[in-house]
Structure 1
Amino acid sequence: MAHTFQRARSEEQRAQRRRAILDTAASMLTEMPVSQVSLNELSRRVGLAKSNVLRYFESREAVLLDLLDVAWREWTEYLEGALASDIDARAPLRERGDQVAAVLAASLADRPVLCDLTSSQAAVLERNVSPDVAAEFKRTAIANVGKLAALVRAHVPELSEQDAPRFAAYCVLTAGAIWTHTQPSAAMLAAYEADPSLAAMRIDFAPSLREVLEVGLSGLLARASG
């Protein structure tokens, strides 16, 4: 439902406008992929002229980068409890590592909006923003990767302080890449249906991500021990 706003005259009102824009964009992402979210439709739904939306966010991409940061922080907050409940601290190292990979993959699979935003980050979302917005996003991204690294290392302390951020970064990059390949177009779906032999090219997100994370974590641990 579109909102109707009077002109914002205070910091509190401006914050409310920004929140309404972000909430509306988040709602749109539950209905459509990132590629279909337009500034025109966002403006219409939020009840502001496009020029007024641009008073609060310099571009569509700036809105979506803000949402990406929110989604990553919500995910890491969830992980704190999920890892604590699903990881057996008494299990052997390899088993604990596989448990961590399973929690990460399953929880990302449950967050398609986060995965879609992540897959669009470098190629789309970072392309139409100012240096100031880009720098601020990267600062928050570094903090989010650091939080993820700390959560993983709490359950796999054998992972070094240097390798934990590497693994966290692998997780982010791999999730975005695999997500892109698990969202086939209508033409690809029709091709798979017409020729079942092509089905081997289809990728399931959660199992694929879990396998890559298992191998990546095992590799880092093996290199360190070697």
Structure 2
Amino acid sequence: MRRARILAVTSEMLEEMPVAKVSLNELSRRVGLAKSNVLRYFESREAVLLQLLDAELHEWAAQVDAWLVESPADCLERIAQVADVVASSIAERPVMCDLISAQSAVLERNISTEVAVQHKYAIAGEVETITRAMVRALPELSNEQAWQVVAYTILLTAGAWPQSRPAPAIQAAYDLEPDLAAGQMDFTETLRDLIRVTITGLLASA
């Protein structure tokens, strides 16, 4: 119950602040435990955030699995449908996007091998769920190709999410000089287009 409470409070904090500002001290205060007690359940701040990412990925995979269904539409239409479902479902999860963006550079830097193994197995399981769902909706893709699409999508999310959420000074520059904002991207549209292009390219090169 305490582990679940710690994860729930961490999720609430991420709705208010970026990953970098989530501290063990503030988390402990909000949970109502001493910092040392929080560390009894999680070995570090990063371990808390990684387990939260695992939970977010599990919920996302279940959602995609439910949404990606067989369709009588032609191949190009189904590619567009798959890209839309995957991109839209990711965009609905800002906490997950924040965590994915910080995963390699921050969250995986202060953890034990045991936590790393658990985390990587958790990710592999969710990727496999989405891979199966993608092949079901788009049987033209092989399992390997669908796995590539999912892996690339996570990488694209890590880069596109922070790019679509500019810092206050950058946003102020865009507001002041609209010409500078021409390259500012819409996250959902960009991710949808990139997923569609990735699938189309993999099928064309097969």
The TM-score, its normalising length taken from structure 1, stands at 0.89
Higher RCO structure (Cα 8 Å, ≥6 apart): 2
Aligned residue in 2 for 1:27: 12
Amino acid across the alignment from 1:24: V
Aligned residue in 2 for 1:195: 177
Matched, 1:137 2:119: yes
Which one of 117, 121, 141 corresponds to residue 103 of structure 2?
A: 121
Deviations 1:120-147 (A, max 9, x none): 1001110111111111101111111111
Aligned residue in 2 for 1:8: none
Matched, 1:18 2:24: no
Aligned residue in 2 for 1:43: 28
Matched, 1:206 2:191: no
Amino acid across the alignment from 2:82: V
Matched, 1:216 2:198: yes
Amino acid across the alignment from 1:68: L
Q: Distance in 2 between matches of 1:182 and 1:203?
A: 6
Residue 209 of structure 1, CA deviation: 0.3
Residue 110 of structure 1, CA deviation: 1.1
Q: Secondary structure at the match of 1:184?
A: coil
Aligned residue in 2 for 1:82: 67
CA contact (8 A) 2:78 2:137 kept: yes
Aligned residue in 2 for 1:100: 82
Aligned residue in 2 for 1:148: 130
Residue 117 of structure 1, CA deviation: 0.7
Q: Distance in 1 between matches of 2:135 and 2:154?
A: 16
**Which ranges of structure 1 fall in alignment gaps of 5 or more residues?**
1-15
Q: How many pairs does the alignment contain?
A: 206
Q: Distance in 1 between matches of 2:160 and 2:192?
A: 11
Residue 203 of structure 1, CA deviation: 1.0
RMSD between aligned alpha carbons? 1.0
Matched, 1:178 2:163: no
Q: Distance in 2 between matches of 1:150 and 1:82?
A: 12
Q: Secondary structure at the match of 1:162?
A: helix
Q: Secondary structure at the match of 2:143?
A: coil
